[in-house]
Structure 1
Amino acid sequence: MTAFSITERKSAFSIAPKTAKPIYAITPDDLENQTHLPPHIAAFAASAGFRADAGAFLLCPSEGGQLEAAIFGLGTNPAETPFVSGRLARLLPEGDWRFAYHAGDIAKALISFAMACYSFDRYQKPAKPKARLVVPEGQDCEALMRTEAAVFLARDLINTPANDMQPDHLEAAFAALANHYGASFSAVRGDDLLTEGFPLVHAVGRAGEKAPRVMELRWGRKGARKVSLVGKGVCFDTGGLDLKSAAGMGLMKKDMGGAANVMALALMIMDAGLDIDLRVIVPSVENAVAGNAFRPGDIYRSRKGLTVQIDNTDAEGRLILADALTYADEYQPELLIDMATLTGAARVALGPDVPPFFTNDDAFAEKLSQASDAVDDPLWRMPLIAGYESKLKTRIADLTNAPSGGMAGAITAALFLKQFVSGESSWAHFDIYGHAPADRDIGPAGGEAQAIRALFETISKG
């Protein structure tokens, strides 16, 4: 079975090794010692002044003047720029290519190339055909294509504008993912959320054009290790009655980035056939402005029974996650993960490229940090400071959704979510950005998959 995709997209990997042209990815030492290069290629590189700096690129002709090969520089320490080979996606001419030699980590070179081949052209003419890489013997082609598909799924979902990515569109994509892997899928929508015990999801989403909903995918072997994933699916966030500015609203199509990333992680888990009992829960809403929008000062009782005072309607993500986490926790999973584009404070602390995570499990944190380093998927653990829980208190309800003072915003948001997890599960919260502000070696600016490669590495190892 091929990995799931919501768009018709060819893989960056080729299955035509006999016709592929060679790439020599070398360091300055390789060039100086004239190792790993055919003599006539080495001579041409010397005459062209090629130095093998990181990202340097040279196309080489044959003795008959035809395109024969490419040389790519990795710099003096390839480990410092593990994804620099992604630049080849923009540099190589169309056709099939293969690494005849690579002085760095070949697996990271392959996946960085694949991720860099991504483009979002749903609303434009299709991109021109691109270069493709042959997967060499010894590399896991299925694993590479699985990661490629997952990253592209997350990016496609996040990049789609809100007029084509409302809760019903997200449900269609989620249901298609479930169907592709033979998983069960269900959804609770609209006023049924009240009778089924999701009052906070209903309150946040009832003003939206499309009905709010809680969606669930179930897959895997009963009796296996229970893993539950929860993703924030705010398909657009106006801020509600506490309206965002125009600048603050500009990127809010990405506020369903948590949902996109747990769906992508689920794709990897199901495609790999991991022996787990998987549940994926996505509460999905539009935080809109209308006569029935929830208001500052309102108080709602959550699925768990805790009452929440609304002190800012723009702190809506934690509300829908509260009901979803309570529901997920009722299943008593061994591992419970939530992902959300939750706070600007996380971006102030670590920037857009390094998501913070919070967890009640030190052993899990250590395994995840090791996986993060192994696959170069950056993460940083931040603390659950118990003393800050007092900031969540309010006089006439159990909790406030927006502590005053403006300090430690990412931590207090995580502590709010912690109130809805029993503590019996190993729980981790990821405050992701879900967006790349600029082009990088692994892809263009826009929607981004974050933390899923490290999480898959951790989950797959038990």
Structure 2
Amino acid sequence: MSAQFAAPTDAAIPIDVIASDQFETFEQQAAPETVAWAKANGFTGKLGQVLCVPSGSGISRALVGWGTEKTRTRDRLHFGYAAVKLPEGVYAIASGLEDDALNEAALAWLLSGYVFDRYKKKSAPKARLVAPQGVDAARIEAIVAGDFLTRDLINIPASDMGPEALEAAFLKVAQEHGATAQAICGDDLLAQNFPMVHAVGRASDQAPRLLDMVWGDDTAPKITLVGKGVCFDTGGLNIKPGASMGLMKKDMGGAATVLGLAHMIMTLGIRVRLRVIVPAVENSISAGAFRPQDVLTSRKGLTVEINNTDAEGRLVLADALALADEETPDLLVCKATLTGAARVALGPDVMPYYTDDDTLAAEIATAGAAVADPLWRMPFWEAYEGMIEPDVADLDNAPAGGFAGSITAALFLRRFVENTANFVHLDIYGWTPSAKPGRTKGGACMSARAMLEVIEARAAK
């Protein structure tokens, strides 16, 4: 797979992008033989149509249908259709798109080139695109490289992506960018006061660990990313049914996404002091597993009653967020594949996010819309605070009743962030159930592009 554009060449095959309501204009302006070929092949400009116009030596040009404004706004990254349907060759957009649409088309093309072929040989799309004039090619390539990193990490099964392998991937990213990094493993977690990370991961053959990376200028705005790194979630002693366990290799999707975002930030050289914190564990079952009704004491000192061992992600994140909050960063971002309730509420494409800062919330919403990375603000609903307060401890990790599961999980996490004003939690899915333009089926890098926009804008102020 290639996360790069083709070198500019005069031999690039031109692409005409044609909306349905512009087909008559195309007929008037195009060569008669091109119009005849389009009509003979039923090309009308419908969204997703791709047609090669032949010439004596091969392909003279390609036509890409752009549909109507209504069909385009139902989803985004539609130019990915062209990337996967066109035959091998080097192409360049000649007409039909400009400004932001050109930028999004270039991004969609590269994102569509992802192939996960670690275990089975697969053919990647062979069509290459010359970066359109005026597009920041290096920026798009950095974003796509981070996206592909995230997808790879999620797609690798837990047999090859346990806590040890996740640590290795974490350290590799740090080394590539000259960041400093450390891992606190096993019983050292107890010695350094990460008791809930230890409790969740201690039943696994691979020791739990807390991964910590720092990069950039200490005088720059402090940005901290925290990602849930549960490499596989059996549900613990409250074991999941088989159907619910099928995708649990993706339960480290938060960690994978913050690593992809960190790669984007560091590749682009954004002037921030970046910190990345990942609690990496496997929620397994053994004689040492933590139990329902156990009461754990967190790094922050808050006690937590365990009413379901399958609500483990918020436990490891609590210790990680407490650590992050101790230095009061300018922006604290938490990403986690945390609740099925978020999927029930918003489906697999739209990511709920939670913040008390209205300005930050607006920035995220604007950024998500601008870069085709859909997000929707959900409330830290104060009236539900009592749902996470049991009789025997400060907090309940799994309130009974099943109501407002994503909100109560977010409220739980917020209890561990007291000093940082600008905090946002994103309850991501990390998976694309069926292929769409720019998104192959499987692991997905969700919310990273939107948060990159927010971080860049804040760093520039």
**TM-score bracket relative to the smaller structure:** over 0.9
* Structure-1 residue corresponding to 2:22: 30
Q: Does 1:91 align with 2:59?
A: no
Q: Does 1:298 align with 2:290?
A: no
Note if contact 2:111-2:144 (Cα within 8 Å) is conserved in structure 1. Answer: yes
CA distance in 2 between counterparts of 1:48 and 1:193 reads 65
CA distance in 1 between counterparts of 2:9 and 2:240 reads 53
* Structure-2 residue corresponding to 1:322: 318
* Structure-1 residue corresponding to 2:49: 56
1:52-451 superposed matches below 5 A: 52-62=45-55, 64=56, 66-77=58-69, 79-80=72-73, 81-103=75-97, 105-128=101-124, 130-451=126-447
Note if contact 1:200-1:301 (Cα within 8 Å) is conserved in structure 2. Answer: yes
Note if contact 1:17-1:98 (Cα within 8 Å) is conserved in structure 2. Answer: no
Q: In the TM superposition, what whole-angstrom CA distance separates every residue of 1:144-168 from its partner, at most 9, and x where no partner exists?
A: 1011101111100000000000011
SS in 1 for 2:429: coil
CA distance in 1 between counterparts of 2:229 and 2:19 reads 44
SS in 2 for 1:402: coil
Note if contact 2:336-2:427 (Cα within 8 Å) is conserved in structure 1. Answer: yes
Note if contact 2:265-2:452 (Cα within 8 Å) is conserved in structure 1. Answer: yes
Deviation at 1:443, TM superposition (A): 2.1
Note if contact 1:160-1:253 (Cα within 8 Å) is conserved in structure 2. Answer: yes
Letter in 2 for 1:169: A
Note if contact 1:337-1:428 (Cα within 8 Å) is conserved in structure 2. Answer: yes
CA distance in 1 between counterparts of 2:76 and 2:414 reads 35
Deviation at 1:39, TM superposition (A): 4.4
Deviation at 1:44, TM superposition (A): 2.4
Deviation at 1:126, TM superposition (A): 4.3
Note if contact 2:113-2:125 (Cα within 8 Å) is conserved in structure 1. Answer: no
Letter in 1 for 2:204: G
Deviation at 1:131, TM superposition (A): 0.8
CA distance in 1 between counterparts of 2:42 and 2:285 reads 61
CA distance in 2 between counterparts of 1:36 and 1:407 reads 59
Deviation at 1:191, TM superposition (A): 0.2
Bigger shift: residues 187-196 or 389-398? 389-398
CA distance in 2 between counterparts of 1:296 and 1:354 reads 32
CA distance in 2 between counterparts of 1:276 and 1:43 reads 55
Where in structure 2 are there 5+ consecutive unaligned residues? none
Letter in 2 for 1:71: L
Question: C-alpha root-mean-square deviation of aligned residues, in Å?
Answer: 1.4
Note if contact 1:166-1:286 (Cα within 8 Å) is conserved in structure 2. Answer: yes
CA distance 1:134–1:38, shift in 2 (3 Å):
farther
CA distance in 2 between counterparts of 1:136 and 1:240 reads 51
CA distance in 1 between counterparts of 2:132 and 2:375 reads 30
CA distance 1:36–1:408, shift in 2 (3 Å):
farther
CA distance in 2 between counterparts of 1:326 and 1:145 reads 34
CA distance in 2 between counterparts of 1:372 and 1:69 reads 33
Letter in 1 for 2:25: N
CA distance in 2 between counterparts of 1:128 and 1:406 reads 43
CA distance in 2 between counterparts of 1:403 and 1:129 reads 47
CA distance 1:76–1:103, shift in 2 (3 Å):
farther
* Structure-2 residue corresponding to 1:46: 39
Bigger shift: residues 27-36 or 202-211? 27-36
Letter in 2 for 1:96: V
Letter in 2 for 1:20: A
Letter in 2 for 1:24: D
CA distance in 1 between counterparts of 2:286 and 2:41 reads 65
CA distance in 1 between counterparts of 2:402 and 2:132 reads 52
SS in 2 for 1:356: strand
Note if contact 2:15-2:94 (Cα within 8 Å) is conserved in structure 1. Answer: yes
* Structure-2 residue corresponding to 1:3: none
CA distance in 2 between counterparts of 1:172 and 1:258 reads 16
Q: In the TM superposition, what whole-angstrom CA distance separates every residue of 1:164-187 from its partner, at most 9, and x where no partner exists?
A: 000110111111101111111111
Note if contact 1:360-1:423 (Cα within 8 Å) is conserved in structure 2. Answer: no
Deviation at 1:65, TM superposition (A): 5.9
State the identity as a percent.
50
Note if contact 2:236-2:285 (Cα within 8 Å) is conserved in structure 1. Answer: yes
Letter in 2 for 1:48: N
CA distance in 2 between counterparts of 1:227 and 1:103 reads 35
Note if contact 1:117-1:443 (Cα within 8 Å) is conserved in structure 2. Answer: no
CA distance in 2 between counterparts of 1:33 and 1:102 reads 11
Aligned residues: 453
Deviation at 1:115, TM superposition (A): 1.1
TM-score after normalising by structure 1:
0.95
Where in structure 1 are there 5+ consecutive unaligned residues? 1-8
Deviation at 1:423, TM superposition (A): 4.5
Note if contact 1:30-1:36 (Cα within 8 Å) is conserved in structure 2. Answer: no
Note if contact 2:216-2:272 (Cα within 8 Å) is conserved in structure 1. Answer: yes
Q: In the TM superposition, what whole-angstrom CA distance separates every residue of 1:261-284 from its partner, at most 9, and x where no partner exists?
A: 001111111111111111000000
SS in 2 for 1:138: coil
Letter in 1 for 2:429: Y
CA distance in 1 between counterparts of 2:122 and 2:42 reads 36
